[in-house]
Amino acid sequence: MFFHDCFIRGCDASLLLNGKSTEKTAGPNSLLRGFEVIDAAKSKLEAACPGVVSCADILALAARDSVVLTGGKSWQVPLGRRDGMVSKASDTANLPAFNDPISVQIKKFADKGLSTEDMVILVGGHTIGTAAWNNVIAKDVTKEVSLVTITLEASAFIITYPVNNAIDKESNETKKVVAWVKAFIQLVEDEFVPMVPSKNLTLSYSSESSIEEELKRKSNTEELLMKFVKEVSSHSKTFILFVLLLATFSTLALGQTNRGGGGGTRVDFYRSTCPRVESIVQSAVQSAVRARSTIAPGLLRMFFHDCFVNGCDASILIDGTSAEKTARPNSLLRGFEVIDAAKSQLETTCPGVVSCADILALAARDSVVLTGGRSWQVPLGRRDGLVSRASDTANLPAFNDPISVQIRKFADKGLNTQDLVTLVGGHTIGTAACALFSYRLYNFNNTNGPDPDINQAFLPQLRALCPNGGDGTTRVGLDTGSVNRFDNSYYANLRNGRGVLESDAKLWSDPTTQRFVQQFLGFRGLLGLRFDVEFGRSMVKMGNVEVKTGTQGEIRRVCTTIN
């Protein structure tokens, strides 16, 4: 009750108000219990000290006492809340839900100023209590095909699936099936896996690795699904039959769609239509980086900025007076001529085949490799976007974003907190203009002093490079001592108070993200993460954000203009 109250209009006891359309009547609150306890405490308090103690404070204390009485440790509860005067059922729409994916959960908590760590801790309140399993999932896939009704765990879930329509990738029926399979995988991830009693689930499931992603990473989908079936062998034979049916469709479905819209991309997309695509792009990038080392970080940033605005569709490459390219966050990007050079050669070799969006994705990978990073396979098949507006760049991650905002912006793209810390690690190569961080050196937050997150031994070095009132265009390396080398020294600099941008420095000072930095550094007994491996994985994930495939968009003849 306290959790739901705080998440709606703040901790103001608005959940306690009676009425036909108050918060109490909304679906998520319909099974809450204990209102009479608050009423009883209020009645006694009104007798002892009338008009003094708010219902909001009573609820906060009652929540604490409930934890203590079930074996939890006590804590001091700050008091002084006042009771709210508004209670509307419609305000409960953004309460965390039982089927929210992790990205949505993170966003909802971030909207309340709570970190990912707070989220995991607070949801741990589920160590006491129960849940009702009477939610029904039904998908009206199509009226033209027969449906098989599958019952799981005593009719807890009702799932329908078409079985007799031919596999036609372009048919509306198949497209609906594809969308439905995605929904089913989400259902299994969010609702079914927690019901499995075995602690040794064969499918390597975790909060940061969805079953959908596991299926995409495995070549033998049917084998993987059957391993999962072994874990749920106590359930009906009908369910096992359903899994076999799902295996039949899964290659089609997972090739067509994924969370974030990355359907249709695959590693061998140009195998028959333009087999030299990767070597041609690599050659163009290699020539440019050898001539000018700053090209590598430029191409990497360009891909990042492209994917975060209308998806990875090369809209950042389009020329125009109000195109994305002209927006302030993109004004210092470099390397556009490299993409143009690669496109020109590809149009000669295999005209009208390779998209500018795929060229940019490959160029970003090659830039990492040419500066010492580890390679990864880039799924291809993106098509080029038809819209490019400077105004759409407003939600790009910014140099002064607090961690909660960074987490929200990444979550909006289906990227989790680990992806955030990993991808920002791309700052291990490249520079930033003094104008983006000099405020940290002299008058941080109007204190007439420096940002306390800056190492005092590092401060004179930065001030020498960026004197107060000096040239704001002067460039400073983001990874001191390793500006042209792709490695994890960037994280060591964050730990040592040598982060240049405020948003970077916060990765260490905020505990939500600090734990991932620590894992990349591999210390304090934490299970380490390999930056060179995780970076490629997160790049693939980001590279599938809102991509256009199939008949969406176009294949531009020239990357700077729509056909």
Contacts of 18 (CB under 8 A, 6+ apart): 24
Which of the 8 DSSP states describes residue 197? -
Residue 476 pairs in a beta bridge with: 432
Cβ pair 420, 410 in contact under 8 A = yes
Contacts of 403 (CB under 8 A, 6+ apart): 115, 506, 507, 510, 512, 513
What span, in angstroms and rounded, lies between the C-alpha atoms of 429 and 106? 29
Residue 432 pairs in a beta bridge with: 476
What span, in angstroms and rounded, lies between the C-alpha atoms of 27 and 19? 14
CA atoms within 13 A on the CB side of 509: 17
What span, in angstroms and rounded, lies between the C-alpha atoms of 305 and 315? 10
What span, in angstroms and rounded, lies between the C-alpha atoms of 509 and 70? 34
What span, in angstroms and rounded, lies between the C-alpha atoms of 414 and 420? 11
Cβ pair 242, 250 in contact under 8 A = no
Q: Give the residue among 65, 59, 61 at the shortest CA–CA distance from 17.
A: 59
Q: State how far the alpha carbon of 191 is from the alpha carbons of 97, 195, 224, in Å.
A: 11, 7, 19
Tokens standing for residue 124: 């741990």
Tokens standing for residue 1: 């009750």
For 272: left if phi > 0, alpha if psi spans -120 to 50, otherwise beta; the answer is alpha
Q: Angle 272-277-281 (CA atoms, 0-180°, nearest 5)?
A: 175
Give SS3 for 437.
Answer: coil
Amino acid at site 558: V
Angle, in degrees to the nearest 10, between helices 356-370 and 277-291: 50
Q: Is 427 a catalytic residue?
A: no
What span, in angstroms and rounded, lies between the C-alpha atoms of 277 and 381? 12
Pick the catalytic residue: 4, 126, 305, 427? 305
Amino acid at site 487: D
Contacts of 386 (CB under 8 A, 6+ apart): 553, 554, 562
What span, in angstroms and rounded, lies between the C-alpha atoms of 253 and 192? 20
CA atoms within 13 A on the CB side of 327: 22
Q: Report how far Cα 307 is from the mean position of its chain's Cα atoms.
A: 12
Q: What DSSP assignment string belongs to 328-348?
A: GGGTT---HHHHHHHHHHHHH
Q: Which residues are catalytic?
A: 305
